[in-house]
Structure formats: C-alpha cells, structure tokens
Structure 1
Amino acid sequence: MLLLVVAALIIEKDVSSSDFCTRKEFARWFVKLCSKFERKKMQRIVPNKLTSGTVQCAFDDVNIDHPDFLYIQSLGESGIISSKLSNSLETLTTGSPSQGNSLFLPDSYLSRFDLVNWKVLVEHPCALEIDQKMLSQNVCILDLRACPDVSPSMLIELMAGENSIISRVFGNTRRLQPHKPVTKAQAAAALTSGRMKEAIQEELNRLEADNQARLSVIAEITEELINRGDIQQQWEEKMKTEQERALEVDNNLQHVLDELANERADREEELAVLLKERAALERKNQELINLRLEVDGMYDRLATENEEVMADQQTLENQLSDMTSKHQAVNEAKSYLEAEKEALTMLRTWVEDEAAHVHERAETLEKALRRWRIPED
C-alpha cells in the first residue's frame, strides 16, 4: 500500500520496477518525499527555488540547466552528499572528486551503498562517532567492514537488525555488495522505510479520516434533503424537465423524419432523371459503337484497296525497271553502232587517202615509165 502511495505521488507513471535506478532519479524522488512527508522541519529537505543572482553549483557535472538541478543541489546544500559546498574533504559517495572537481554522475546507476547511506543520513542526522570495534562486533554485513566511508548513521541503522533499511530492502543478507546497482523497486522500498513509513502511514490515515468525514457530511446532507423533501421535488422537476426534453426530442425527430422523407422523394426524382439520362447515353453509346463498326469496315476496305494500289504500283515499278533496262541496252547498242560507224568512216577516209596516194604513185610511175620509154624510140 505504501509503495502504491509513493508511486502515485512521487514516482512517475511510466517507470518500470525492474529497471535500474539512476542517481538523478533517486535524488528527485528522495527530495520530493522528504519535502512532502517529513514532519520535522530540521530534517526536511526543501528545494530552494532559483532567484536572480549567481548560483554556486554544488557539482561540476550538474549545472543550472539540468532538469533535476534543484533536487541534486538540495542534496549538496544539505550536506548529505559531499560537494563543493561541503566543509569536509571526505567523500561519502562513489562520485569522488578528481583534481579538485566534485562530480555527482547523475546518469550513473545508484549503488546499494549510496542508497542506504543517503537514507540513513536523513534517518539519523545527529549520530556521533562510533568506535570501529563496534563495527566488527555488532555489524553482520561482511563486505561493509572494508568500506572506508561508512558513516556513524549507517552503523546505528545496522544495529536495528531485522528492522534496518538493508533488511527491509534487500532481505536477510550478510553481503551488501555496495557497488551493485539497485532497481527502481528497491529504491521505492527504501523510500518507504524508516520514519517515512510512519509519515506516509499518518498521511494515509489523515486522508482516510478526511474521506470518512466527507462521506459523513454527504450522508448527513443527503438525509436532511430527503427529510425536507427537496430530493423528491428536485427529482420531480428533473423528471418533468426530462419529459419536456423527450417531447422536444420526439418533435425534432418527427421533423427530421419528414425532412428525410422529402429528401428521399427528391432523391428518387433525381434518380429517375438520372436513369433517363443514362438510357439516352446508352443509346448514344450504341450509336457510336455502330458508327465505329462502319468506320472499321471502311478502314478495312481502304486497307484492301491500298494493298491493291500498292501491288499495282509495284507492278508499274517493275515494268518501269524493265523498260529502263531495255532503254539502257538500246542506248548501249546505239553507242556501239555509232562507234562502229565512226570507225568505218575513219577507215573509208583512210582507204580513200591510201587510194589517192596509190593513184598518185601510179601516175608518177607511169610518167617515169614514159620517160624511160622515150629514148628507146
């Protein structure tokens, strides 16, 4: 029951109990719980709202823009965690300072030692120094003896035995495993242990008492109204109002039904007109189909005639090719005859020239012969 109250008031709704808890998450829940349920003002941790002016950050890795800055800063300012604001140089957490830096490591998982240590520092803030011999004699947690940062508050808490925070959160164990991370369910169990358990129980009792008182007042008021008859009167008035509203609804319904009937008649008339238009369109479509068939027939006939024309054209081209071939043959024969004629003409001219030469030689020979014959006479 206490875990449910903490989950409803402090822890977010989308948190899974089996996930590991980070340091910033536990710091946020821890400070919220202490500021809301802590009854002692001296032990209450209240986040200081940011005001104008310079704010000195308690940790180097958590600045003012961090969403959980107020809660983490509150832990540093209260001295629960060693920080730059602390007067002591001892480190009470696993985030030890390095070269003068104080780190909180908000995204790291919360260890078991830090979980218990933060809690007991609030549970027992005024614990005095305890002799280390008491640790070896009365503390049954074996691996806690080797931790150098064990506070007196934790030793006082361990003396509680079965009622200690370790027993309530981790059960009956002799090994704390201080560096092992804790789950969010274990963190919630630690938050509701110790004095917070009593404070939360008191808050639950107060809420229950307030609820019972409120229910009693409601019952008294209801009984008084029944005795006075106000409830019956209000019921009759409400029934009358509902009857009037029902009558009005019926009238509106009838009006709507009439409008729907008129609308239906109009739609039927429009449907009839559309059917007529559809029939006309179908007739036109049929006419277009017939016309298309005729056009297709004409196209087929034109294609056939085109094929015939192409065949005739091919025949004419073949005949033209034959005539061209014959014409070329005639031209070649004519050229051959002209060449022979020219050759014969040249031969005739040559023969005539030769005949003339022969005739001249004959005349010359005849003259010479006559000259040769004259002396003989």
Structure 2
Amino acid sequence: MYIENVTDLAFDDITPEDPDFPSIQGLAEAGLLSSKLSRRDMQSSLDDDQSPVFFCPESPLSRQDLVSWKMAIEKRQLPIVDQKSVQRVSGFIDVDKIHPDAWPALVADVSSGEQGIVALAFGYTRLFQPDKPVTKAQAAIALATGEASDIVGEELARIEAESMAEKAVSAHNALVAEVEKDVNASFEKELLLEREKIAAVEKLAEEARRELESLRAQREEENLALMKERAVVDSEMEILSRLRRDVEEQLQTLVSDKLEITYDKERIEKLRKDAEFETQEIARLQYELEVERKALSLARTWAEDEAKKAREQAKALEEARDRWQKQGIKVVVDNDLQEEANAGVTWQNAGNESVESTVNRAETLVDKLKEMADTVRGKSRETIHMIIEKIMLLITMLKEWALKAGKQTEELKDVAMSKMGNSVQGMQQSSAEVGSALKDGVKRFADDCRGGVEKISQKFKT
C-alpha cells in the first residue's frame, strides 16, 4: 500500500497520477515485479545502485519480463544463480544481454524441462533475445503452463460452452426473427392503421397544444392584468382609507357646522321675506312710475300739440298783420274800412274758437290725469297733481288772455273809422301779445313735461 511521503515509488515513470499506479505499485511492493524496492532489498547498502528504474507501461512485453513475472507468481522461492550457472543450465549464448534480475526465474523455468515457458512458447533455441516482444499466443501458452494449466483448461471449457450457447442463441434468435417477421407481416396493416390513428391523435394533440399555449398566454396576460388591477385596487383602497378618515373628520366638522347652517337658514328665510316685501314695493313703485310716466307722456303730447297749434296761429296772425299793413297803406274809402272791420271780427272769432278748443282739450286731459292719480299714491300722485295744477294755470291764463283780447277788439270797433291805422296796429300788437303769451306758456309747459319724462326715464334706467 502506497503512503504519500512515506513509501518510495517502485518505478520512476509510474506516479500516483497514473490510472494503473495502484496495481503496478502493489505488485512491486509484493515482490512480484523487479523494481527499485526489490533491488534495494537484494543489494547491500554499500553497493546501492542509484540508477533509475522504468516500468515502461506503453512498451510491448519482453521475453525476460514474461518469464520473470510468471515464475515470481508460481515460485515463492527462486534459486540464487550467477551468469555461469545460467549459461550452464540454459545454454543461451546471449546470457550477458539478460538482466541479472531475470536469471533466477530463467533458471527455474528451464529446470522445468518440456513444461517450461521457454520450451513451450519459444521452442528450441540457443538465442534467448530477452528484449524481444512476445506475441499473444506466446503469452497465452505462458499463462497456461504450470500451476495455472487447470484454470486455463476450465476457462477454455467455459469459452467452448459459451460458444455453443451462443450458437444455440443464434439459432433461437433466427427462429424468433422468423416468427417476428410473420407476426410483423400479419400485423403490418394494423400497425399502419395505428400509425394513422397516432398521426391523427398527434395532429389533434398538436392543435390542442397550440390551443393550450394560446390559452396559457391568454391566462398569463389575464394574470398580469389581474395583478395590475389588484395593485390599482390596493392603491385605491389605501386612497379610500385616507378619504374615509378625511370624510370622518369632515363629518365632524359638518355636524358642528350644521347648527350654524340652521341659524343661517333662519336668517336667510327672514331676509328672503324682507326681499319679497321689497320686491313687492319695487313692483308697486314701478307701476306708479309707469303711471306717472304715462301721465307725463300724455301731458307732453298735449303740450306739443298745443305748441304746434300756437305756432300755426302765430303764423296766421303774422300773415294777417302783413295783409293789414298792406291794406292800411293803400285803402282810403269806407268800403275798405268795412272790409277791415269784417276781417277784425273774423280774426276775433277765430281766436275765440282756438282758445275754447284748447281749453276743452286741456280739461279733457285734466280729467284723464285725475283718473290716473286715483290709481297711484305717494310721489307719483303728487307729480300728477302738479301737472294738473300747471294745466289749470295755463287754462286760466288762456281765459284771461281771451277776455283781454275780446275787450281790446270791442275798443277797436269803436274807433275803427278815425283811427284805422292805429287800431290795426293795436290789434296786431294785441294779437301778437296773445299769440306770444300762448306760445310761451305752452313752450314752458312742454319743457316741464319733457323734464318730468326725462326724470322718470332716468329712474327706470337706475
């Protein structure tokens, strides 16, 4: 048994890394192979040979190695010989080429006579040729000689029996092959059908596999989608949890604010009632303002109509004055004076009729305004009454002017013959005064009505 760093190597070319190292080292340590170990034990320390010893595992087996190994196995003790003894016993002429370690084994084999390895394997020869490689047949003969002959015979018998058994097995295999051929021929059609079925099944299996793969891919996509949705749901649950806490806090705040809202609601209800009352008041005021505006509009329309008629009358008076001036210059007979007197009467009658129609229209307007004043109250009623007062004042002034104009006309009739020129001028001046007074009064009244309408319009705008 080899122990590293303790046991010496038997051969210099066989190291522990070699795959056959345990077997070779074991044979050398057992003394069955000539090695550095056996050489050191056989020689004295004084004659110790330090030359390397090689096993050469890749080299062919030589004759001297075959004889040495075989004799070492069969003979536990070999004779001690020298070169002369080897040459005398074997008769080989090349003894000097034989390794000294092989001398004892060679002498022991030659001493066996015809049953030795040299006689059986190499035949009769005087040239041993120790380094010549042996053939397989020579090695087999060497193994079959000596004590191993019985074992070799048994092995040969076993080999022969195995050969016969192999022949029987071959015959049986041939018979089985024939039977199998017949069976295969009989079931070939069924096998073909089975193959077709298998092909169909494989096709269905392939389709099922593809469908399964598609379903698996779809399932994986669904799983990914579910995982994403689950992550979203988890995040939403967390958000909802936070929102729930916030809502609870806000609920507490709302409960505390509910009382304030109730109080504010009552206050708003009160304000709403006040607003409704104010709205009703505003509607009433709008109605009154509308009535007032309508009254002012009627008064303004009447004033504008009267102003227009006054302008027409003034224009007629201007034309009459021009005509009188022209006639006063040219006429010197009584007939002309009579015509002038008749013309004066006609003018007077026309003036009286104009004043009466104006007064009648003014009184009609006053009646309408009184009816409108009865439907309103407050400042609107005061405004309408103020308009009525102004109209009544205008009517009074018109009546006074008409009376004054009548008196002046009567006076003019008395002095018509003597003071025709002067009376015509006085009549013209009186008519001009009446016309201008009427015109100024109507104009002032129209301006007052226009100012009232503008004030009412401004109120509506604001």
Q: Scaled by the length of structure 2, what TM-score is found?
A: 0.31
Please give the TM-score of this superposition, normalised by the length of structure 1.
Answer: 0.37
- Which of structures 1 and 2 has the bigger CA Rg? 2
